[in-house]
Structure 1
Amino acid sequence: MTSAQVTTEGPAAARRHARKLAAGDRKAAFLLLLFTVIAIVWANSPWGATYDAFWDTEVQLSIGELDAHLTLHALVNDGLMAFFFFLVGLEVKREFTIGDLTDRSRAAVPVIAAVAGLVVPAVIFVMFNLGSGEAHAWGVVISTDTAFLLGALAIIGPKYPARLRTFLLTLAVVDDVGALAAIAVFYNNGIELVPLLLVGVLLVALALVRFLPAGRGPAYALLGFGLWLALFAAGVHPTLAGVAVALLIPVYSPRRMDVERVAELARAFRESPNSVYAREATRSLRNSISINERLQTEWTPYISFAVLPLFALANAGVRLDPTTLAQAAVSPLTWGVIAGLVVGKFIGIAGATALVQRFGLGRLAPGLGMPRIAGGAALSGIGFTISLFIIELAIADEAAQDLARVGVLAASVIAFLLGWAVFAVADRVRPPELIGAKLVRPVDVERDHFRGRPDAPLTIVEYGDFECPFCSRATGSIDLVIEHFGDDVRWVFRHLPLEMMHPHAREAAQAAEAAGLQGRFLDLALAMFANQDRLATDDLFAYARDLGLDMDRFAADLRSPSVIRRVEDDVLDAELMDLHSTPTFFVGERRHKGPWDSVTLIRALELERQRLADVGTRPNDGLTQSRSMDGTVPGSPEEVDGRST
């Protein structure tokens, strides 16, 4: 096997994963669109009367003396959609607990943009409808349809969409929180006190379920159903039961003790296969992943490919007869919906993002400039699912409901076309970052791990993998480069774990970051390079213990959201630059082509020094007091003693 074959499997695996995500988004969006079209065709066909007749079919639910009558339409909107909101709640809980929203600096831009994307559309809608009597229906225009949004992004397929997709997902989570709050506060049916007290009792019971030794799943299901009934009786929309249950379900990263327990039981089963070990190993394996993540994985296909298409079929049957279209053409309700979703979302999200950057309240990830944000903001005007849902709650008149639905459908089509146009024009006028030719993210001595003097005039950046043998050899080359240039060069290391061929590379990268939080990044990195065939979890902990690290802190940091994001940032940078192999070097900001032996690297750095002398400039990376690879402050006694180099 050639080195090229070895080193390209990791990025290829990442690209396959990205394509799989995009394919799933496209399928979900296509199915939602298909059922929307079926509903519209059905409602406008010669058999259109059967559409309403079918969804008005009564369903009777009886439990003892409790007797509930629902239509099929209400069963979908009030019952099945509770599962959709349950999934939304799981995602919200995860993002705020261990996801992107745990990092305030990372979350600031999409969170502020999402809030603006809620407020601006509502204001525009109200301006259109001040005299129409429908101004209270502003909730129709505040929410973006996440499934259609991600599906549209996958269909348009801008290059390297990973960071934009993450930005839009974060935005969508905050957007969903706002929409759910609006439903609970502004679109309830009048509050009944006694059932509301029962809701409080059930919420306390749900919060205590996590302490049960067993049977937590059935307990959540039973109490969740009781909460649905109590909310229904209290006058609050019962679908919010799904959100409430989800927010009370714990979420956590896999704990080392749980993973080790799984390994012990699997080993015992392998040595002595029996039903007891099999049952215990299965239970331990399941419990090592939080119930939040298990439910998201298991339920997402059912929500995406069953619940949402059924919802579209039950709610998108707008009669597009000449009379309705003529009324919609001059209706402030219809135009308020269109303007709120298309114009309001675009101005709110793109404008807020620009202002946040302008005033330094947050920063966008590398490669995620305003043209990309503008395209995502345009697509955010696709407000399908929750918009149609709120129409039922906010507007009583059926004719007015149809006018609002026409607005939602028109806005969704316009937003998709506008987003496509923005991406096409932006990529033509200002193409995405030149692929691989230039370092996409300049060196930041506050963030990057480096060896050498922080303000050295020469810089060499390596994207590497602790399990890659070529990276290990390149480390020796770097030693000679630093010996040659002395204080005039700094070496910066960034992560590019090639997980397909190097299954331990990602965890090794996280271990190095965890050690870096205790000032020992380079020490652990060298230990892992010296033992590349022994990088299992136990090995990483052994090396950390040998270095005298605080093991409790190391174990907690290893799988912490901040460490995971830190490695993922480097990986996404590498994807944006289309890096295919490790090690990959950048001399200054330019990608190094050819061998990485010390003589070649020294020659490349000499040419870079000559180039800098010719133009009379030096790299500007916003140098402030910072820490080098072992965590020491440059110029401190520890560095003078030689520890950082």
Structure 2
Amino acid sequence: MTAVSLLPSRPSAPARAKKKHVSGDRLSAALMLIGVGLAMLWANLPGDTYETVWSMPAAFSIGGVQVTFTLHQFVNDALMTLFFFLVGLEVKRELTIGELTDRSRAAVPIVAALAGLVIPALVFFAFAGSTDAADAWGVVISTDTAFLLGALAIVGPKFPSRLRMFLLTLAVVDDIGALIVIGLFYSGGLSLWPLAAAVVLMALLALVRYLPVGRGFAYSVLAIGLWIAVALGGIHPTLAGVAVALLIPVFAPRRSDVERTAELTLAFRESPNPAYAAAVTRSLRESLSINERIDNAWRPYIAYGVLPLFALANAGVHIDGQTLMDAAASPVAWGIVVGLVVGKFVGITGATLLMRVLGKGQLAPGLGLNRVAGGAALSGIGFTIALFIVPIAIDDPHTADLARVAVLAASVIAFLLGWATLVAGDRIWPPQPVGAKLVRPVDPDRDHLAGPLSARYTIVEYGDFECPFCSRATGSVDAVRAHFGDDILWVWRHLPLDGPHPHAQQAAQAAEAAGLQGRFYDMARLLFSRQGSLDTDDLFAYALELGLDEERFAADFRSPKVLRRVQDDRLDAEVMDLNTTPTFFVNGKRHVGPYDSASLIRIVETPLSERHVK
């Protein structure tokens, strides 16, 4: 049987992160649905308490300066700035160190997102272009990321990780497009001097990163000033949140910062005192970019507080028979429903298919068009930004109510269509039987090969450089290659088991960084022979021992390219439900049983029809 860890079994870090994502997405979507339900119920109670409460004035004054606003404006203009701030953080992160740094991988979701912005707008114009609400085309362009991921978690298709990553990349581009549209088409008349002040404040924000201390306070003060300047300048103030986010630096953890933290931790361990404790805390904090720290700290409050409150403040529509009849006859309502449901589906799916036909870009391994179609259908859930734009783009209260009804109806229809598409797609093209076959063929341009491509036999190993069983299997590999000679091709893929093997991930990164200098298998053998010493300093020492370029190795070690390379292998393993190492695939079929050299030689020579596979 396949080797197992002798340590207690527990979910790997990716599995725990996946469960956290799924449960968080579901909770956020559930709270927003509760907000929608309460708003609908409240708005349809006798009296006008819903409108009365949200139009209630409030005031803020300092000296002789007084600002008056309604509760609805406070939610939409102030609290939603925090939501757009998080959107901006995500955009900056993806553009700098995330999926959007890989042009070939990002090309498909970028083009699909652009089509998902343009096609719905054209559909809306086809229905409502001749009406007084033609300017409301912006209502149909944007996908609600929180509801989209929550819906995907509720549908719960098998192996959703790659679809989720595709949709997240698409959603980032979608958000960029929506923000540009809001800034260009849904802002008021511009005022020169406040905008000039905003430019100065943005320049100061860009310089905050160079302050030795007090950066958080400086960001806060300048951000509030920018929000006021943008509002006075005639641009929707929520865009100030995006501007601040784009000016906040983001970077992958740097080796020097991590090592400094380790040194301070060791000093604190040897001599516990407040000075060392403060230094360790500060070093830990500064080893991660402020972008990631703020995102991690604020996201729960936005997802579980601001967005449900926004739903409560904006989804309250008085619904009766007459309203439904008016909506059914309204070209604006039909433009919104068809634009979101059909426009998003056709735009995203059609653009993805076109990119595949043209051979431009690539989908992540294991992500099929049927899954993309299901995600495209779910992308018709356009709740948050759609409802946000309705009161800005539509002046007539009755038409605005019809638009809100249409947004809610389109979101429900899109969810049901997405659910049906994913379920039907998995039935027509069922997922690969778990672990029985290799989901991704050997790719000479990507995989690490030992042996000629023309070999009669191929063995693919998913392994972990800290796994003692993988280390022992190295001897088996050498014996098998010696037996078959040029008739065998050996391929290594990564499956770091983070729980029992805490150094496996960084060891995989070290092997990949060495591979970029043509020394992958040399580094792999070194890692296997010294499994007890896989700290970061050890890995860099091994790079020097192999004669690698130290600066290039250091840059590649934590580069997005290397991290994605290991992550892709992890996702392959998830699709095949691999959770032990080493796991072997012989000529595309999973090997179950002993993996000593004699057993592997025998299984390689056994015809497929006689071979037992899992």
Shorter-chain TM-score category?
Answer: over 0.9
Alpha-carbon distance change, 220 to 365 in structure 1, aligned in 2, over 3 angstroms: same
CA contact (8 A) 2:4 2:581 kept: no
Alpha-carbon contact 1:367-1:433 (below 8 Å) kept: no
Aligned to 2:161: 162
Aligned residue for 1:4, secondary structure, equals coil
Matches within 5 A, 1:66-145: 66-145=65-144
Which residue of structure 1 aligns with residue 37 of structure 2? 37
Structure 2: distance between partners of 1:549 and 1:450: 20
| Deviation per residue, 1:585-610 (Å, 9 max, x gap) | 11111111211111111122223599
Matching of residue 582 in structure 1 with residue 571 in structure 2? no
Matched ranges for 1:78-477 at <5 A: 78-477=77-476
Q: Work out the CA distance in 1 between the residues paired with 2:557 and 2:188.
A: 48
Maintained 8 Å contact 1:514/1:554: yes
Shift of 1:117: 0.2
Q: CA RMSD in A?
A: 1.5
* 1:8–1:580 contact (8 Å) kept in structure 2: no
- Please say if residues 7 and 498 of structure 1, whose CA atoms lie closer than 8 Å, have aligned partners that are also in contact: no
Match of 2:4 in 1: 4
Quick one: structure 1 residues 11 and 576, their matched pair in 2 at CA, closer, same or farther if it must change by over 3 Å? farther
Q: SS where residue 440 of structure 2 aligns?
A: coil
Gaps of 5+ in 1: 613-645
Hey, what's the Cα distance between the residues in 1 that align with 2:100 and 2:9? 31
Quote the offset at 1:553 in angstroms. Answer: 1.5
User: Once the two structures are superposed, what CA deviation does each residue of 1:216-246 show, in whole Å capped at 9, x if it has no partner?
Assistant: 1111111110110001101000000000000
Once the two structures are TM-superposed, the CA of residue 63 in structure 1 deviates from its matched residue by: 2.7
Which SS does the other structure have where 1:462 is aligned? Answer: strand
Cα distance, 1:249 vs structure 2: 0.2
2:26, 2:151 within 8 Å by CA — same for their partners in 1? yes
Report the Cα distance in structure 1 between the residues aligned to 2:357 and 2:42, rounded to whole angstroms: 50
Per the alignment, do residues 430 and 550 of structure 1 end up closer, same or farther by CA in structure 2, a change over 3 Å counting?
A: same
Residues 251 and 292 in structure 1, CA contact (< 8 A), matched pair in contact too: yes
Alpha-carbon contact 1:8-1:498 (below 8 Å) kept: no
Whether the 8 Å contact between 2:195 and 2:230 is mirrored in structure 1 is yes
Q: Secondary structure at the match of 1:70?
A: strand
Distance (whole Å) between structure 2 residues aligned to residue 130 and residue 89 of structure 1: 31
- Whole-angstrom distance in 2 between the partners of 1:611 and 1:27: 49
For residues 353 and 386 of structure 1, the distance between their equivalents in structure 2, rounded to whole angstroms, comes to 24
Return 143-152 or 127-136, whichever deviates more.
127-136
The answer on whether the counterparts of 2:3 and 2:581 sit within 8 Å (CA) in structure 1 is: no
Moved more, 14-23 or 315-324: 14-23
Q: Which amino acid aligns with 1:271?
A: E
Distance in 2 between residues matched to 1:271 and 1:205, nearest whole Å? 42
Name the SS for the 2:562 alignment partner.
helix
1:511-545 CA-partner distances (Å, limit 9, x unpaired): 11011111111111111100111111111111112
| Superposed CA offset, 1:49-68 (max 9, x none) | 01111011111112333321
Question: By how many angstroms is 1:14 displaced?
Answer: 3.2
In 2, Cα distance between equivalents of 1:252 and 1:158: 33
Q: Deviations over 1:182-240 (max 9, x none)?
A: 00000111111111111111111111111111111111111110110001101000000
Partner of 2:23: 23
Q: Secondary structure at the match of 2:606?
A: helix
Summarize the Cα distance change of 1:434–1:568 in structure 2 as closer, same or farther, 3 Å threshold. same
Unaligned runs of 5+ residues in structure 2 are none
Moved more, 319-328 or 159-168: 319-328
CA distance in 1, matches of 2:512, 2:65: 58
AA of the residue aligned to 1:545: L
Which residue does the alignment assign to 1:528? 527
Normalised to the residue count of structure 2, the TM-score between the two structures is 0.97
- Aligned mates of 2:15, 2:260 — CA distance in 1: 33
For residue 357 of structure 2, what is the amino acid of its counterpart?
A: R
Q: Which amino acid aligns with 1:33?
A: L
Distance in 2 (alpha carbons) for counterparts of 1:3 and 1:445: 28
Tell me which residue corresponds to 2:55: 56
| 2:460 aligned counterpart, secondary structure | strand
Distance 1:8 1:142, change over 3 A: farther
**Structure 2: which amino acid aligns with 1:394?**
A
Q: CA deviation at 1:276?
A: 1.4
- CA-CA distance at 1:3 after TM superposition: 4.7
Aligned residues: 610
Distance 1:609 1:387, change over 3 A: closer
2:13 & 2:238 partners in 1: Cα distance?
Answer: 39
Give 2:45's aligned amino acid. S
The 8 Å contact of residues 440 and 577 in structure 1, kept in 2 or not, is answered as yes
Matched letter for residue 319 of structure 1: H
> How many Å separate the matches in 2 of 1:145 and 1:317?
18
Shift of 1:8: 8.9
- Distance in 2, Cα, partners of 1:45 & 1:579: 54
Task: Report the TM-score, using the length of structure 1 for normalisation.
Answer: 0.93
Amino acid at match of 1:214: V
Quote the offset at 1:18 in angstroms: 1.4
- Number of the residue aligned with 1:633: none
In the alignment, the residues of structure 1 paired with residue 228 and residue 396 of structure 2 have an alpha-carbon distance, to the nearest angstrom, of: 27
The amino acid of 1:458's aligned partner reads Y
**d(CA) in 2 for partners of 1:552, 1:214:** 30
Counterpart in the other structure of 1:643: none
Residues 140, 337 of structure 1: 8 Å contact kept: yes
Moved more, 270-279 or 395-404: 270-279
CA contact (8 A) 2:5 2:500 kept: no
